[in-house]
Structure 1
Amino acid sequence: MDVSTFTARRRSLPADGGEIAYTEFGDAGAPAALFVHGLATGGLMWRHVIEQLSGTTRCIAIDLPAHGGTPARADMSVAAMAEVLAELCGGLGLGKVDLVGNDTGGAICQIFAARYPGGLRSLTLTNCDTDGNFPPPEFAPMVELARQGKLAEGFAGVAAGPASRAAGPLAGLYNDPATVPDEVWREYYGGGLDRARDVERMIAALDPADLTAATPGLRALRVPTLIVWGTAEESNFGVKWAYQLRELIPGARDVIEVDGAKLLFPEERPGDLVPHLREFWGR
C-alpha cells in the first residue's frame, strides 16, 4: 500500500485530552484489530500488514500523540499513551480488540493490557521494550540528550533531503533503508522543529517505572498472547526479552523468531508477521 492510499483514510476522533488521529481499513462489522507504532514513526508503518489483513479484519492504526496526524499532549509518558488507546477504543466503540504493538508501542500495549484486560480479545507483541529493558541501554544516551533539550534540532534537520533521511536515526531499524520510499521518510521526519520537540518530550518522559507498574497485571493476563520477534536486534531488543515476556504472561504461546529481521520488520517484511496473525486470530 502506498503512502497516499493510507493517509487518505486518516480520520480524527475528538477526545477529552485532545484529538486522536487514526487510519481504518476493512469492514466495520469485522473483528477489530488496533495497531500501535513506536517512537518517531506513525500508524503508517502498519500499512502493508493492514493491506493484507483488511479483508477479514477491521484494521485500525493509531497515530500516537506527536506522531502522524495527532497533536502532542501535556503528558507524553507511555502510561499516558495507554490511556490514549483507551480513549480511542471507547470513542470508536470497539469493544474487545486484537492489540498489536511494536517498539515503544509494545510497551504501551503492555500497560494497556495490564490496565484493561477486559478490552482485549488477544495481544501480539513484536520487538519492543520490556520490564528490565526500558529503554534499552544503548538508547539511554538519546534519552539524556532529550532531557537536556539537545535532540530536537538534530532530528528536525534530518528532514533536509532524501540522502539525510535515509541515513537518519530510523535507518538502522530496517534491514535495507534504501528501499524505504522518500514519502515515508517525509511522513516520519516531517512536522519541523515543533514536532521534533514534541517527540523529544516523549523520549525525555520514558520512565522504567511505568512498565514495571504493569508487571503484576501482566502476570495475571490470560488473554491469548502472540510474540513475534526479529532476531537481528540483539543490542536493543534481543530475543531473550521475547522469552522473558513469554514467561511473564500466562496467556503467551511460543515465541516465533523471525530470522535476521530488524525492529521495523512489520513494515519492511510484512510477510513475516501476517501469516502468524491470521493463524493466531483464526481468520
Structure 2
Amino acid sequence: MGISTSLGPIREVDLPGGRIRYHDTGSGSPVVFVHGLLVNADLWRKVVPEVAAAGHRCLTPDWPFGSHSVPMPDADLSPTGAADLISAFLRELDLSDVTLVANDTGGAITQIMLSRDHSRVGRVVFTNCDAYEKFFPQPFTLLPTLARVPGLLDTILQGLRFRPAQRLPLAFGLVTKRPMPPQIADSYLVPSRTSGPIRADLRRFLRGIHKRHTMAAARSFPSIDLPVLLAWAPEDKVFRIDFARRLAGDFPDATLRTIDNSLTFIAEDQPELLSEMIVEFTRLHATP
C-alpha cells in the first residue's frame, strides 16, 4: 500500500473480484488517480496535497498492477477487466463528475474505460502514457511474453532488489530523471518480490496486454465529448510528443500542454507543474 502520509487516510472498497485499498483526502469535486505498471498510489504523493488544497477530494487507489498489497485472485485483470475496475470504483463510492488523472499503463487502461463507460467522468488528464499500437512500447514490449515463461518474471523481480538495477531501462531508468527515494522504490517493488499472490496478479495482468485493446479504444475517441488535457513531457523517449499530438487530434475537446525537464513520471519529476495544470484545468472546465 502507498506509504505516503500526504495521500490521506487508507480506506478499502470491495469491487468485483476483490478489494482495493485507496487513500482519500480533501473535499470538493473528486479527482481519481490511475497509476501504471509496478507503481502504486505513492506515485502521486507530491501532487495530491496541492490538488486537495485547491478544493478537491483526491482518491488515490492502489490498482492491481503489481505494487498493490491486497491480492485480487478472483478479479478479471485483462485490460478490459482492469478498465471495468475503475468504473466499479467510481460506482461503489458514488462519485460523479470525476476528474481522472492517468499516467503510463494507467493511461491505456483509462482510455479503455472511457470507451466502455464514462458516465461518471467529467474530464480527463493524461500524462505520458500508452495508447494506440504502443501497449506496451519499447523496451517493455516483451514483458507480456516474459510473463508467460515459468519463473522468469520472478527472476527479474528479484534482480530489482538491487538499487543499480532499478535504474536500468527495463525498470525505472527511462521513466524518471533521477533515482527515486529508496523507501518509494521499495513501496513499488517489494510487494511483487515478496508475495506470491501479488506476483500472480501481476503475471495475469501482463499476459493480457495487447495493442488490440488500445486500438479498439481509440476508435471511440471521436465520440468521447469530454474535456481532455494532455500534460506531456516532450523529453520522454518512451512516449514521444507526436503521440500526444495524435491523441489531441482524436479527442474532440483536447488541449496539449508540455512540461519540460521530465520523463514519463511527471508526477515524480515535475509534480508542482503537473499539480498547477490539473487545478487550472478543473477550474476551466468546472461543471456549472
TM over 0.5: yes
Aligned pair partner of 2:37 in 36, 39, 45 = 39
What amino acid is the match of 2:72?
A
8 Å CA contact retained: 2:22, 2:60: yes
CA distance in 2, matches of 1:275, 1:7: 17
The 5 Å alignment of 1:1-283 reads 3-6=3-6, 9-27=9-27, 30-55=28-53, 56-65=55-64, 66-73=66-73, 74-158=75-159, 160-162=161-163, 164-165=165-166, 169-177=171-179, 180-191=180-191, 192-194=194-196, 195-234=198-237, 236-253=238-255, 255-282=256-283
Identity %: 26
Paired AA for residue 123 in structure 1: V
State the alpha-carbon separation in 2 of the partners of residues 238 and 96 from structure 1: 30
CA-to-aligned-CA distance 1:211-231 (integer Å, 9 cap, x gap): 122123211011000001112
Query: Residues of 2 paired with 1:271 and 1:6: CA distance?
Result: 14
Deviation per CA, 1:165-201, whole angstroms, max 9, x where unpaired? 4557124321011xx2211111101121513343233
Q: Which consecutive aligned stretches of 4+ in structure 1 deviate over 4 angstroms post-superposition?
A: 161-168
AA aligned to 1:50 is V
Q: Closer, same or farther in 2 for the Cα pair 1:158/1:272, shift >3 Å?
A: farther
Offset at 1:127? 0.4
Q: Cα distance, 1:4 vs. partner?
A: 4.2
**Equivalent residue of 1:136, what SS?**
coil
Tell me the CA shift for residue 141 of structure 1: 2.2
- With structure 1 as the length reference, what TM-score do the two structures score? 0.89
Q: Which has the higher helix share?
A: 1
| Secondary structure, counterpart of 2:127 in structure 1 | strand
Secondary structure at 1:272's aligned position in 2? helix
Taking a change above 3 Å as real, the CA distance of residues 157 and 125 of structure 1, as seen in their structure-2 partners, is same
2:107 touches 2:126 (CA, 8 Å); kept in 1? yes
Q: CA deviation at 1:54?
A: 0.8
Q: Unaligned 5+ residue runs, structure 2?
A: none
Q: TM-score, normalization: structure 2?
A: 0.88
Do 2:4 and 2:45's aligned partners in 1 also have CA atoms closer than 8 Å?
Answer: no
Q: CA deviation at 1:151?
A: 3.9
Quote the offset at 1:163 in angstroms: 5.0
Structure 2 SS opposite 1:113: helix
Q: How many residues align structurally?
A: 276
